[in-house]
């Protein structure tokens, strides 16, 4: 899951969100029978659906308090509280692009290898990302993985004279160049509607099928000289210049409105995006479908549940972390909010493999996302991968607002080097 910037306060029955208002995330608990979990986005619940928490509370006699914050604030707060030695929640979710930045502080987290966790249920690369270099410590348990597809509005496609059948739509774009070309065709018939939501999502989608993007396998920062990154930038800029972008920063209120009002026809769609669309634009049910991603495969997303060592309820928090990331719960989350299970063993189970989404016009999501992941490379992730991705999203948004692309690129490079301590 990488629902990276939800800032709206959400109220749900028996769900306390202390992130609302000016308070931000809170790590304070209500005693030994209360477990707090700090998240960004829809990690384990939707605004109107906390069934997983309810189930655990009833079985274990505890209360779970979820605190939400936006992507950047969430991870910054976690780092600040680790440094201060107090203030973290009992459980903290860390996004896959951020987790390597916390590996060097492994002593600040519970080592799940000492807690009877069977790490073999996840792929070796997934476990490795949350492990110390010597393999002695595992600081986080994998939640979901992304996979990549393309969600599209069938009603808008029909109005533009494009096919609406998902197989025919998939055939429109065997490459990302094709995708941009179809966007130009769409705009000739639908000049008041945009082709996609934001350049940052197209850029991320293009890179989703590349092994090395911002870092190489040796851990070196290669972003400035990596041709695949610059090519992805240039193609995204071409699409922006062609008027295809709605220029809606991800997870902003304007972005949410864009979903609700049909301001764009397509969106790069990792599995977790399904839950976001359903939660923020429920009235668009039946207007969406899911096609293959250009290139046919790719990945975007994934997170880890950690237990900070400073917590007051460490043992109970560990048990909750193990339960939340167990295959049974991962399958339930996929069916309810779209987060795709990280355990490959679940992909052939009927509850996953045969799952189709009524919201997305019956799209066979249980087949689409495993097929996308099947040939996707294991991507190299470095300590600042998440920050770099956000930097590019911001830079492309500035291009959408009129900044010269070359200036935006240079500014992004400077910011990335500074963040990586290389500038």
pLDDT in tens, 305-345: 999 999 999 999 999 999 999 999 999 989 888 889 989 88
Mean pLDDT of 121-136: 89
pLDDT the model gives residue 346? 92
pLDDT surpassing 80 at residue 9: no
Q: What is the C-alpha to C-alpha distance for residues 266 and 136, in angstroms, rounded to an integer?
A: 43
At residue 54, φ and ψ (nearest 5 deg) are -60, -40
What is the pTM assigned to this prediction?
Answer: 0.84
Backbone φ/ψ region at 161: left (φ over 0), alpha (ψ -120 to 50), beta: left
Residue 327: both structure tokens together: 């295959």
- pLDDT of 331-382, one tens digit each? 998 988 888 998 988 999 999 999 999 999 999 999 999 999 988 888 888 8
DSSP secondary structure code for residue 215 in this structure: B
Q: What is the C-alpha to C-alpha distance for residues 260 and 173, in angstroms, rounded to an integer?
A: 25
- pLDDT of 267-316, one tens digit each? 999 998 998 899 889 999 999 999 999 999 998 888 999 999 999 999 99
Mean pLDDT of 128-134: 91
pLDDT the model gives residue 296? 93
Residue 376: both structure tokens together: 């996707």
pLDDT the model gives residue 4? 38
Q: What is the C-alpha to C-alpha distance for residues 240 and 401, in angstroms, rounded to an integer?
A: 10
Mean pLDDT of 33-40: 94
What's the CATH class of domain 149-269+384-419? alpha beta
Delimiting residues of CATH 3.40.190.10 domain(s) in the chain: 34-144+302-338, 149-269+384-419
Average pLDDT score, the chain: 89
pLDDT surpassing 50 at residue 205: yes
pLDDT the model gives residue 422? 64
CB 96, CB 303: distance < 8 Å: yes
| Of 152-161, 245-254, 281-290, minimum mean pLDDT range | 245-254
Q: What is the C-alpha to C-alpha distance for residues 37 and 53, in angstroms, rounded to an integer?
A: 11
Q: Identify the residue with better confidence: 14 or 192.
A: 192
Q: What is the CATH number of domain 34-144+302-338?
A: 3.40.190.10
Highest mean pLDDT among 5-14, 112-121, 227-236: 227-236
Mean pLDDT of 194-219: 95
pLDDT the model gives residue 36? 97
Mean pLDDT of 53-79: 92
pLDDT the model gives residue 191? 96
DSSP secondary structure code for residue 12 in this structure: B
At residue 386, φ and ψ (nearest 5 deg) are -65, -45
| pLDDT band with cut points at 50, 70 and 90 for residue 124 | confident
């Amino acid at each position: 899951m990488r629902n990276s910037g939800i800032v709206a306060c959400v109220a749900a029955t028996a769900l306390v969100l202390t992130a609302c208002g000016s308070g931000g995330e809170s790590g304070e608990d209500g005693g030994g029978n209360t477990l707090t979990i700090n998240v960004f986005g829809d990690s384990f619940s939707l605004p109107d659906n906390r069934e997983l928490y309810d189930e655990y509370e009833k079985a274990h006699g505890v209360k779970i308090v979820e605190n939400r914050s936006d992507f950047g604030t969430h991870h910054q707060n976690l780092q600040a509280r680790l440094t201060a030695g107090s203030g973290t929640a009992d459980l903290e979710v860390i996004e896959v692009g951020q987790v390597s930045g916390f590996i060097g502080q492994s002593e600040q987290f519970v080592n799940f290898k000492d807690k009877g966790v069977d790490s073999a249920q996840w792929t070796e690369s997934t476990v490795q990302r949350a492990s110390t270099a010597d393999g002695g410590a595992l600081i986080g348990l994998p939640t979901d993985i992304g996979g990549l597809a393309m969600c599209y509005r069938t009603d808008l496609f029909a109005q533009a004279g494009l096919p609406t059948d998902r197989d025919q739509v998939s055939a429109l774009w065997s490459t990302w160049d094709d995708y941009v070309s179809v966007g130009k065709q769409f705009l000739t018939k639908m000049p008041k509607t945009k082709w996609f939501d934001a350049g940052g999502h197209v850029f991320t989608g293009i890179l989703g099928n590349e092994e090395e993007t911002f870092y190489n396998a040796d851990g070196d920062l290669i972003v400035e000289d990596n041709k695949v990154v610059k090519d992805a930038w240039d193609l995204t800029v071409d699409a922006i210049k062609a008027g295809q972008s709605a220029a809606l920063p991800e997870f902003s209120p304007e972005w949410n409105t864009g979903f609700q009002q049909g301001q764009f026809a397509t969106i790069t769609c990792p599995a977790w995006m399904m839950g976001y669309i359903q939660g923020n634009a429920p009235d668009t049910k039946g207007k969406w479908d899911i096609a293959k991603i250009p290139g046919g495969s790719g990945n975007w997303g994934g997170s880890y549940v950690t237990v900070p060592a400073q917590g007051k309820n460490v043992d109970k928090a560990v048990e909750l972390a193990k339960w939340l990331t167990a295959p049974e719960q991962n399958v339930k989350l996929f069916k309810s909010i779209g987060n795709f299970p990280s355990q490959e063993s679940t992909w052939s189970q009927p509850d996953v493999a045969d799952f189709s989404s009524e919201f997305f016009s019956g799209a066979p999501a249980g087949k689409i996302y495993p097929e996308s992941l099947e040939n996707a490379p294991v991507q190299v992730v470095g300590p600042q991968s998440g920050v770099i991705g956000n930097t590019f999203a911001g830079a492309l948004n500035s291009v959408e607002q009129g900044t010269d692309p070359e200036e935006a690129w240079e500014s992004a490079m400077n910011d990335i080097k500074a963040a990586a301590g290389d500038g």
